[in-house]
């Protein structure tokens, strides 16, 4: 699934994956920045808590956005695929400046939203300028190829990751979250070995990638982002490795970016600011 068509790519909205556990009270830098790009206090934000099994997740974010000055923040209680046809929810997305997807289980997002009117509305509106943010599971769900699960560790292995179709807001990145905290470099490398076209983005907690139209990425937050670029890959043993065996990858490029750092997908160049 590719991003929704838009003849003028510069008009697309931001895609903002967050690594989870974002600061919400002391210095909510990431959420403040999201509010800013959405237009400030007058913005309208739709909150989608589908990934979470906790009943109060959406309401907690609604209260948080109101505390940040947003007057129009609304939880869309999408629990079933039938809910994705609710015309009131679709109308709210059509009028929104931003959508925020909470954490939880990304398979709950993909199996509930995948292929529905809500998913199509988010893709269409993002192509027209609406900004879409997601934390933890919400971040993993954003790209065409979604990491649905996997194992911890540093060395890639054929059975280290499970992939599933994602929302498709970008086909240039594969995203993993809680990256350093949960030792997920091996599973992101495994995902890239299966699909060397994409660039891997490993998000530490309280760290976000603000991906601008044209897929220029800027880091915001207190942690780091690991960029794994397989475009110069010269050798992979993925095709011959058995379950549990290590995989050899030669020619992979890795960058660590912190707040203010940038990565440009077209040139494949990273910079500290």
Total domains in the chain come to 1
- Looking at residue 101, its pLDDT comes to 98
- Looking at residue 189, its pLDDT comes to 98
pLDDT 10s digits, 183-240: 999 999 999 999 899 999 999 999 999 999 989 999 999 999 999 999 999 999 999 9
Instruction: Please check whether residue 6 lies inside any domain of the structure.
Output: no
Q: Among candidates 65, 43, 148, 143, which has minimal Cα distance to 104?
A: 148
pLDDT at 7 over 50: no
pLDDT 10s digits, 83-104: 999 999 999 999 999 999 999 9
Instruction: Find how far residue 51's CA is from the centre of its chain.
Output: 13
- Looking at residue 195, its pLDDT comes to 83
Instruction: Please check whether residue 5 lies inside any domain of the structure.
Output: no
Phi-psi region of 215 (alpha: psi -120 to 50; beta: other; left: phi over 0): left
Q: Would you name the residues annotated as active-site residues?
A: 136, 178, 205
Instruction: Please check whether residue 251 lies inside any domain of the structure.
Output: yes
Three-state SS string across the chain, please?
CCCCCCCCHHHCCCEEEECCCCCCCCCCHHHHHHHHHHCHHHCEEEEECCCCCCCCHHHHHHHHHHHCCCCEEEECCCCCCHHHHCHHHHHHHHCCCEEEECCCCHHHHHHHHCCCHHHHHHHHHHHCCCEEEEECHHHHCCECEEEEEECCCCCCCCCCEEEEECCCCECCEEEECCCCCCCCHHHHHHHHHHCCCCEEEEECCCEEEEEECCCEEEEEECCEEEEEECCCCCEECCCCCCCCCCCCEECCEEEEEECCCEEECCCCEEECC
pLDDT at 137 over 60: yes
Instruction: Please check whether residue 82 lies inside any domain of the structure.
Output: yes
Enter the pTM of the model: 0.96
pLDDT at 5 over 70: no
Instruction: Please check whether residue 271 lies inside any domain of the structure.
Output: no
pLDDT 10s digits, 49-66: 999 999 999 999 999 999
Instruction: Please check whether residue 100 lies inside any domain of the structure.
Output: yes
Instruction: Please check whether residue 4 lies inside any domain of the structure.
Output: no
Instruction: Please check whether residue 1 lies inside any domain of the structure.
Output: no
CATH number at residue 21: 3.40.50.880
Cα distances from 126 to residues 36, 41, 86, 95, 197, in angstroms, run 16, 20, 19, 12, 23
- Looking at residue 3, its pLDDT comes to 63
pLDDT at 73 over 90: yes
Q: Among candidates 160, 132, 128, which has minimal Cα distance to 147?
A: 160
For residue 150, give its domain range.
Answer: 11-265
């Amino acid at each position: 699934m590719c991003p929704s068509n838009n003849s003028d790519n510069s008009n697309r909205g931001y895609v903002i994956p967050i690594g989870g556990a974002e600061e919400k009270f002391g210095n909510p830098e990431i959420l403040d920045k999201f509010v800013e790009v959405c237009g400030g206090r007058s913005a309208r934000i739709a909150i989608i808590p589908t990934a979470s099994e906790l009943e109060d997740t959406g309401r907690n974010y609604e209260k948080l956005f109101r505390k940040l000055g947003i007057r129009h923040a609304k939880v869309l209680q999408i629990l079933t695929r039938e809910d994705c046809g609710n015309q009131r929810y679709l109308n709210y997305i059509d009028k929104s400046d931003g959508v925020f997807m909470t954490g939880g289980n990304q398979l709950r997002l993909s199996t509930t939203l995948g292929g529905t009117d809500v998913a199509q509305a988010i893709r269409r509106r993002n192509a027209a300028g609406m900004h879409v943010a997601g934390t933890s599971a919400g971040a993993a769900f954003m790209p065409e190829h979604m990491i649905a699960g996997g194992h911890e560790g540093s060395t890639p292995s054929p059975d280290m990751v499970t992939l599933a179709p994602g929302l498709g807001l970008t086909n240039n990145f594969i995203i993993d979250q809680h990256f350093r905290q949960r030792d997920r470099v091996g599973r992101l490398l495994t995902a890239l070995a299966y699909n060397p076209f994409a660039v891997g983005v490993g998000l530490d907690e309280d760290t976000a990638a603000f991906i601008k139209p044209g897929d220029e990425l800027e880091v915001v937050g207190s942690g780091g982002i690991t960029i794994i670029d397989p475009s110069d890959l010269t050798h992979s043993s993925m095709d011959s490795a058995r379950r549990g065996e290590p995989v050899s990858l030669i020619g992979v490029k890795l960058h660590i970016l912190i707040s203010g750092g940038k990565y440009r997908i077209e040139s494949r160049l990273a910079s500290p600011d």
